[in-house]
Amino acid sequence: KQEVTQIPAALSVPEGENLVLNCSFTDSAIYNLQWFRQDPGKGLTSLLLIQSSQREQTSGRLNASLDKSSGRSTLYIAASQPGDSATYLCALRPLYNFNKFYFGSGTKLNVKP
Amino acid sequence: EAGVAQSPRYKIIEKRQSVAFWCNPISGHATLYWYQQILGQGPKLLIQFQNNGVVDDSQLPKDRFSAERLKGVDSTLKIQPAKLEDSAVYLCASSLSSSGSSAFFGQGTRLTVV
């Protein structure tokens, strides 16, 4: 069974710092992996979707990478801002059932002004 | 493009009462998901519909939870009777198809059972 882990559970950084959020998974047979942002009391907002055949995706200050062989994905946030404070979740779809998402428990990011 | 709509946003009920949540997915999205998110955890899939058929309900506590998707569009999720451990945010999501396209989430319904 696929397991998705996000470490650390919480992270606090000063404004302007570049940072990396980690997502690891146990089964490399994945269909795709998606990074979401969740603000308190809100739903999930999709940030980046990486297909199994891709190594990375970029959107603005965000860059997500995928390394299936090591079972890892990273979300890189450049020049962090207080508005980036939120919980970041990764979710993947396995090859054997690409209908189904497996979510990590998230990393709660606090960017201090 | 309108997003996924959910109502109500918040609900407080006593244990053993019933509650229902409503979801309207993005127009044209064939796949609809209901997730339960307990505080501090990632979302857990309760049920997935493809049009109006159930694809996966393996983690739905069927003795108390039920869901339907009428005409392959709107969906309702019901809990009867509610337990304290059902306190969570219930998220609805939809995607264009089940072939791995991006999923879009609603704002969720925060349920508190007292």
* pLDDT tens, position by position, A88-97: 999 999 888 7
Nearest Cβ partner for A104 among B31, B42, B104: B42
pLDDT of residue B99: 66
B23 with B9: CB under 8 angstroms? no
A43·B106 Cβ contact <8 A: yes
pLDDT of residue A111: 97
Tokens standing for residue B106: 């609603």
Give chain B's residues under pLDDT 70.
1, 98-100
B12 with B110: CB under 8 angstroms? no
CA distances from B40 to A10, B28, B79 (A): 11, 32, 22
Is B4 buried (19+), middle (13-18) or exposed (0-12) by CB count in 10 A?
A: buried
pLDDT of residue B40: 86
Q: How far apart are CA A87 and CA A73, in angstroms?
A: 16
Q: How far apart are CA A27 and CA A24, in angstroms?
A: 9
pLDDT of residue B21: 97
B93·A93 Cβ contact <8 A: no
Cβ contacts of A34 on chain B, cutoff 8 Å: 102-103
Instruction: Give residues with Cβ within 8 angstroms of B58, minimum separation 6.
Output: none
| B13-33 tens-digit pLDDT | 999 999 999 999 999 999 999
pLDDT of residue B11: 97
pLDDT of residue A40: 86
Taking the Cβ of residue B25 and every Cβ of chain A, the question of whether any pair is shorter than 8 Å is answered with no
Taking the Cβ of residue B53 and every Cβ of chain A, the question of whether any pair is shorter than 8 Å is answered with no
B102·A49 Cβ contact <8 A: yes
The tens place of each residue's pLDDT in chain A, 113 residues long, gives: 789 999 999 999 999 999 999 999 999 999 999 999 999 888 899 999 999 999 999 999 999 999 999 999 999 999 999 999 999 999 999 888 777 889 999 999 999 99
Nearest Cβ partner for B110 among A41, A46, A93: A41
Give the residue from B102, B110, B112 with the most A CB atoms within 10 Å of its CB, the best one to mutate: B102
